[in-house]
Amino acid sequence: MRLLYTKCPACFDIGGGGLLTRFEVIATEAIFYACDQCESAWPEYEPISINYFNVITGILLENGIPIEHHKGAFREAFDDTGFILKGEELRGILYGLMAADNKTKINDPIYPSIWLVDCRRIIGINGETKVALILNRAETYILDAQPVKEV
């Protein structure tokens, strides 16, 4: 199992508390990682470190998206390698699970918005039936998700 979340090297330890989310520029399908708090960003091909980072606007400009078209130009790009479902089908299932009543809060000493949801069916490639959902602090969107047997 991979880590449930990655701390932002630009802001986490100085009080921002940001976590990285994997995003896709819709027009170019380029993948980048961005902080949910300070908007620091890293293209997929760059190491995530304090030595190099950009901002979301810079990433979009690098991908040929003019400023007036930035709204709605990117979306979460879940790492779906552990899931049976892919793409939009997976996105729909995950957002449906986010609204489910059968979520259990995971007691994590660092980040408070992690939920375990029983899917009541196999969702992972290794027979997992549960999903860990890592939500933003306001719990309005998913930062990351992964199938799990138990946490």
pLDDT (mean) for 49-64: 90
pLDDT (mean) for 19-26: 90
pTM flag (> 0.85): no
d(CA 141, CA 38): 16
Kind and range of the H or E element at 56?
A: helix 56-62
Compute the mean pLDDT over every residue in the chain, rounded to the nearest whole number. 87
Instruction: Report the pLDDT value the prediction gives residue 77, as an integer from 0 to 100.
Output: 84
Q: 45-49: list long-range contacts, CB under 8 Å, 24+ apart.
A: 48/6, 48/9, 48/20, 49/9
115-138: buried (b, 16+ CB within 10 Å) or exposed (e) per residue? bbbebeeebbeeebebbbbbbeee
pLDDT (mean) for 85-99: 89
pLDDT (mean) for 71-86: 87
pLDDT band at 2 (very low <50, low <70, confident <90, very high): low
d(CA 56, CA 34): 7
Whether the predicted pLDDT of 41 surpasses 90: yes
DSSP state of 115: E
pLDDT (mean) for 114-127: 92
Kind and range of the H or E element at 60?
A: helix 56-62
d(CA 126, CA 5): 20
pLDDT (mean) for 74-85: 86
81 Cβ contact partners less than 8 Å away, ≥ 6 residues apart: none
